[in-house]
A and B are shown apart, each in its own frame.
Chain A
Amino acid sequence: AQSVTQLDSHVSVSEGTPVLLRCNYSSSYSPSLFWYVQHPNKGLQLLLKYTSAATLVKGINGFEAEFKKSETSFHLTKPSAHMSDAAEYFCVVSAPTSGTYKYIFGTGTRLKVLA
């Protein structure tokens, strides 16, 4: 079975400081992992995805995430927050299950960026 836990429901950072959004996952199979971002009153947009090519994944807008199998984590980071990063972020795990495919979403982390 697959599951994903986003450890913080809300994170506040000051503009220009680093961002860390934490995600832990559980999967019986080699999973695919994703981060999605949702700006207010908008749809969900893919930020980055994990494949087997590299454990450090770079996404759009300066975000990156590191896949750590030993820690079952896929934390999202950005060196310097911008006001436009204020949004909700979802960690997602997907893998085959019972002959089909499912995407399991975390409960989301709302990022607030302070001026």
Chain B
Amino acid sequence: DAGVIQSPRHEVTEMGQEVTLRCKPISGHDYLFWYRQTMMRGLELLIYFNNNVPIDDSGMPEDRFSAKMPNASFSTLKIQPSEPRDSAVYFCASSLIRGTPLSGANVLTFGAGSRLTVL
């Protein structure tokens, strides 16, 4: 498997522009997570999906942020309009939750991240 695939790897944009980050989870995984990482705030969970349904979006900072998962193999995180404080590395991760919690099948696999710079 190619792992979790994120695009773009790097994005530089100007304040006010729309940004769309994309994620392809590992085939067969039923959970998908979006995280944001900054030096100041560390790693933050933004939103996660189970079987394409958003479960918890309490980490989404503002209405400017939205996420969708139209099917099991694709998710997007959109920022509109973008602001300089949105500059961060955005990670997508997926997992397969199966069996008991100790079955070992629930490893969270991360993508390489999308580094966003908003000028």
Contact = CB atoms under 8 A, between A and B. Distances in A.
B119 interface: no
Contact of B101 (A44, A45, A95, A108): A95
Contact of B50 (A46, A101, A103): A101
A107 B42 CA distance: 7
B62 to A, nearest CB: 22
Contacts of A61: none
Interface in A41-67: 42-46, 49-53
Contacts of A31: 101
A35 to B, nearest CB: 12
A32 B91 contact: no
A113 to B, nearest CB: 21
Contact of B91 (A43, A51, A101): A43
Contacts, number: 59
A51 B103 contact: yes
A73 interface: no
Contact of A92 (B56, B108, B113): B108
Interface residues of B, number: 26
Contacts of A53: 104
A107 B41 CA distance: 9
A44 B110 contact: yes
B69 to A, nearest CB: 15
- The 4 A-B pairs with the shortest beta carbon distances in the complex, nearest first, are A52-B102, A51-B104, A44-B110, A43-B112
Given A46-B108, A50-B102, 12 more contacts: A32-B104, A34-B107, A43-B110, A44-B91, A44-B110, A51-B103, A94-B106, A101-B50, A101-B97, A102-B56, A103-B108, A108-B42
